[in-house]
Every structure is written in C-alpha cells, then in structure tokens.
Structure 1
Amino acid sequence: MATEATNGIITCQPPKIDHLDGQGYLFGYPIAHSLSPLLHQTIFEPLGLNWDYFLLSSTDIKQFLRLIRGSKCYGSGVTMPHKIAILPHLDDLTPECRAVGACNTVFWRDDKLVGTNTDIAGVRESFLQNVPASKFRNRPGLVVGGGGAARSAVYALVEYLGCKTVYLVNRDPSEVEAVVAWCTAQGYGDGLVHVSTVAQAEALEGPGAAVACVPNFPPVTEAEWEARRIMECFLSKPHTGAILEMCYHPVVWTEIAEISKQAGWEVILGTEAMIYQGFEQARCWTGKSIAELPVKRVKNTIAQELSKARL
C-alpha cells in the first residue's frame, strides 16, 4: 500500500489477509454510540468480506497495538482521545496525517503500521458529493470551532475546495491561535483569518463553504454568544453557500443547522462526513475504489438506524 496521495486520494492495495477471516477495531473512549461497526459491516458484506469490526472502548494504547499487530487485523479506526497520542507508536504517516497532526485510521503497508487521516476526505467529499462547486469555489471558507477537527476542515477547504482564505471563529482565542500556528507551520495556514468580532465579520467577503466543528449546545457565556453572532453575520451575507454541520449526535438536526437553513444556506448533515471518511477507511483496507463500494446501501442503512434512534 502506498501512502502518497494523488488528487487527494490515497492509493492503496488490498492487505494480505484471508478475506474470510479478518478483524479491525475502533479504538477510543467513550465510543458506545458509534455507528462505525454498522457502517463497515454494511460495506464489507456486499464485497464478500467476512470481516469483523469491533468497538474497543479503552484508553490502553499498548493493548490496542497488541491487537492490531495480530496476523488477522486488516487495520483499524482511531478516535478521541487517541488521535494524537497514537502517532509516536506508528511506523509511518501519510502526508495528510502529518499535515493535520492527527490520525483516525491505521492500515498496513509493507509490514509497517501506517497512520492516515480520513476526516479530511469526509469534509471534502461532503461538499463535492452534495453541492455544486459554484457554491464555494473561489470564495473564502469558514470554520467554526478549534482543535483537530478544525485543522482537518481547514486542510480540506484550502487544499481541495479552492478556499484561499479561511475565516476561523471560536469562543476561545487561544484555540484559534493554536490552529493558525499549526497550519502555518505545516504550509497551509497563510490564508487563515481569525475573526473575533461582528464588526470585523461585517467588513469581510461572505464565505461559500462553512464547516461547524462545535457541539450542539446553545451559547451560554458571552464568548460563546459572540462566536454565534459572528457566524450568523457570515450566514446573513448575500451569497448563500453550503455548511457542513459536523455534529450529528445525539441529534442530526442541530441549532446551527436550523439557523443556517433559515439563512438560506444548504445544510450538509454530519452523517455525510462520517460516511465518506468511512468509505476512505474502507478504501485503505480493501483497495477498492469509491465506485466499487456500496454507497447507496450504506447511506440508507445509516439513515434507518438514526431514524430508529429518534423514535
């Protein structure tokens, strides 16, 4: 398996594992609500792969490494709080994994355990598969939030969605400063702009692609309210673009989704990002292209599961 990316797609070869007997894990804590096992089993079955995908709700990295280095493991997912902590334990990293400084997927290449980041693909494909490029091409991007999810969103907006400028909005200025410093050091942060007041937002060109990376909680503190007012200022500008609301648990339709819809923006649900990052994981593990994966089947299965959860 090669780790170099071509047009944003990691080239992969299928692992040397008996297709009738393989296993993988989602390593994180807590993860009881995760839909990843359902997603991947729905992918594997039509491909004729009798592979298992288990939730490993744990904080023990050594245990995870012992499991994944077993002969029957095709690869695994990694989620919070391990996306950064896992990096020193891997044999190699893909360029995108290095760029965002976080790993959410591991796979095998030449007997080496390689880390990559498919959250980027989740953001990228959420826009490319759901809205026309005219909504966001050659316009600024907007990221609401901070931390690793924000870095992945910035990378996708800058490298794949044509956003030379990306506005950052967050309740905590220190988190924004950390994102800017990291992205700049990695070579994709020159166009980042920290927008800290409504007056500043009013003077800026409206964005075309927005990514919300914050939990679905109503603002409480003044800093949270100011971040919400800045976001609403951008959403109210004449150009209405598309917003990816990354939060989909415990509810799919969030406050930010409703505010965006009322402002005339096209809302992309967070389940889209979850699904497309999962397809990218499956590509790394199986060597199949997206066209060979059961996209419609997966989307229907996830939608049905979420509808049951709301009953």
Structure 2
Amino acid sequence: MAANGLITCPDPAVDHLDRHGYLFGWPIAHSMSPLFHQTIYDNLGLRWSQLPLPSTDMDHFLQLIRHPKCYGSAVTMPHKVAIIPHLDDLTPEGRAVGACNTIFRRGSRFVGTNTDTIGVRESFYQNVASPDQVFHGRPGMVIGGGGAARSAVYALVNFMKCPTVYLVNRDATEVDAVIGWCKSQGYGDGLQHVSTAAQAEALAGPGAIVACVPNFPPVTEAEKEARRVTEAFLSKSHKGAILEMCYHPTPWTEIAALAEKAGWQVILGTEAVIYQGLEQDRYWTGRPLEELPVQKVKDVISQELSKARL
C-alpha cells in the first residue's frame, strides 16, 4: 500500500487474480458495484475482481489502469467528465452524453463509454411487455437536469423511439444547459421544457418517464411547480412506465408512489444499475448479455437493499 492508503501498482492484492479492474470515485463506500461484478465473475468461473478506489487522485488512477492485468474501470463522481481528456477514444454514447462511467481496453488504447444510457434502455425493454403500445412513438419525459438527465434523453431519443422529450425541473438554467448540450450533439431538437402544470395539461401524455432527482419533498415554489407538472402528466389517460433512478437508500420514492397510485408501471432504479453494470461486463469480458448471470445479480442486489432497510 502507498503511504496515502491507495493501492499501488503493481499491487500484491491482485497477484492471485487473472484480471482486475477498479471502481474510481469519491465517495464510494455505499456502492454495490464491486459486489455486483464479483457475483458475475464468480458465476462465470473467472479469477477476476473489481477493486474499490476511493480517490480524487487522477494521476495515480491513470498509472493503475496501465497494469497489464487491468481490464479497465468503472468511473463515478466526481470523475465522469474529468476523465475524458485522458482517454484515447470514446464510444458514440460516451461522446454524445459527455460523461464516461466505463473504461475498457481496445488493444493498448483506453476507450470510454457511457453505459447509463443502456441501463435506462434495458430497464424499459426488459420490464415493459409491449413497448409499441406503451412508449414507441409517444413523447418521453425526464425529471431532472443533471448528467443523468442527458443519459436519459439520449436513451429515449436514440433507443426508445420517443420523437419528443419533455424536461421537467425546478431550475430552468439546468434545463437550458441540457437542451443546449443535446442539440450540440445532434439529439436535442425534440426537447421541450415544460415549466407549468397549465402547459402540461395542454400537451400529449408521455409513454416513458425517467425520474433523475433525489427523493426529497418539494419545498420551494419552483420545486412544488415541478411536482405539479409531474402529477399533471401522470394523470393523463395514457398510462405508461416510469423509471425511478433514485434507489439509495431506498428505491421506493415519493414520485414512484405517485406514479403507482396514478396507474403507471413503476420500474425501480435498481434495474438501471443492474443493466448498466451488465453492459460494463459485456465490454470487459466480451460475453453477450445472454451469457451473463442476470438473475444472480438481481438476487444479490435485492438482498443488499433488504439489509439496508433493516
């Protein structure tokens, strides 16, 4: 170990492993990512492991991933944007969203991607029985205005056949930034900021909603109006599916409860976590989704959440 407590490279802790990767971020104590990926590797019979790296030391991380046995890394806050200039290339998803949560090797090159987009997509396609009836060709909707909102917009527009996407958020400046970014990347022309309940009443109902905000009750007038906009859309005659991205400390949120009461199908945020993680391992192991132990990781994540609620 180095004097600062970080893993040095090469590290004796990885000597017994055939391959290893990292989870790079700060803080990451609550993350289930290492357990998630260990479940996959164990079930595939691989002597692999993902090592937590709670750090803000970018230079040290860049040294670590050059270890010949390192397959790459998961990247979380606050590094998702800062890591991009240090990569050799980006996938179309990583470039379009402007944030990298996954690094994989392509020969000697380090490539960044964004699997959050796949997490959103698969949460719907793996859980909604009839996408054609529920959300294809209908407006989509995103609640929130940060990086997760960009990933959600990308998934709705590019994967889920939503020609229009409503943006609902307490902060108009954040919405403007999301629209500006998405337009600059070629997938923002159908975005529409819905700022009042009256405006929502006059619009066609969405078929797929992605909620990307923390589970706090609205306090300010701007927050209350954003909640009224959400309720106006939930009360439309067409009932679709909503993905509640917030899952920590519990996936059962106020917005999820409102949606369920209004007759919507609620998809828990753990689904997005699971499918974005499976996409990471698809890059790292080269195995297709069909060969990965999907139900095993779902069971493990469910058990961990049950412990957290005790």
What's the TM-score bracket when you normalise by the shorter of the two chains? over 0.9
Q: How many matched pairs?
A: 294
**Could you say what secondary structure the match of 1:164 adopts?**
coil
Deviations 1:200-227 (A, max 9, x none): 1000000000000001111111111111
Q: Please name the residue that 2:95 is paired with.
A: 98
- Measure, in 2, the Cα distance between the counterparts of 1:223 and 1:293: 44
Deviation at residue 52 of structure 1 after TM alignment: 1.3
User: In percent, how many aligned pairs have the same letter?
Assistant: 71
Match of 1:107 among 104, 107, 114: 104
1:29 equivalent in alignment to 2:12: no
- Any unmatched runs of 5+ in structure 1? 1-17
Q: Please name the residue that 1:135 is paired with.
A: 134
Q: Which amino acid aligns with 1:244?
A: L
1:70 equivalent in alignment to 2:67: yes
Deviations 1:245-291 (A, max 9, x none): 00000111111111110110000000000000000000000000000
- Measure, in 1, the Cα distance between the counterparts of 2:235 and 2:51: 44
Distance 1:242 1:233, change over 3 A: same
**4+ runs deviating over 3 angstroms:** none
**Could you say what secondary structure the match of 1:190 adopts?**
coil
**Could you say what secondary structure the match of 2:154 adopts?**
helix
Asked whether the 8 Å contact 1:246–1:273 carries over to 2, the reply is: yes
- Measure, in 2, the Cα distance between the counterparts of 1:59 and 1:19: 27
**Mapping for residues 177-256 of structure 1, pairs under 5 Å:** 177-256=176-255
Q: TM-score, normalised by structure 2?
A: 0.93
**Could you say what secondary structure the match of 1:229 adopts?**
helix
Q: Please name the residue that 1:276 is paired with.
A: 275
Deviation at residue 91 of structure 1 after TM alignment: 0.8
Asked whether the 8 Å contact 1:19–1:49 carries over to 2, the reply is: no
Distance 1:19 1:296, change over 3 A: farther
Asked whether the 8 Å contact 1:83–1:102 carries over to 2, the reply is: yes
Q: TM-score, normalised by structure 1?
A: 0.93
Asked whether the 8 Å contact 1:261–1:267 carries over to 2, the reply is: yes
**Could you say what secondary structure the match of 1:306 adopts?**
helix
- Measure, in 2, the Cα distance between the counterparts of 1:44 and 1:199: 51
Deviations 1:107-161 (A, max 9, x none): 0002101000000000000000000202111110000001110000000000010
- Measure, in 1, the Cα distance between the counterparts of 2:45 and 2:298: 19
Asked whether the 8 Å contact 1:246–1:269 carries over to 2, the reply is: yes
- Any unmatched runs of 5+ in structure 2? 1-14
Q: Please name the residue that 1:116 is paired with.
A: 113
Q: Which amino acid aligns with 1:214?
A: V
Deviation at residue 27 of structure 1 after TM alignment: 0.7
Distance 1:19 1:235, change over 3 A: farther
**Could you say what secondary structure the match of 2:85 adopts?**
helix
Q: Which amino acid aligns with 2:241?
A: A
Q: CA RMSD in A?
A: 1.1
**Mapping for residues 135-174 of structure 1, pairs under 5 Å:** 135-174=134-173
Q: Which amino acid aligns with 1:309?
A: A
Distance 1:126 1:19, change over 3 A: farther
Q: Which amino acid aligns with 2:185?
A: Q
Q: Which amino acid aligns with 2:119?
A: G
- Measure, in 2, the Cα distance between the counterparts of 1:263 and 1:67: 49
Match of 1:44 among 41, 44, 55: 41
Q: Which amino acid aligns with 1:49?
A: L
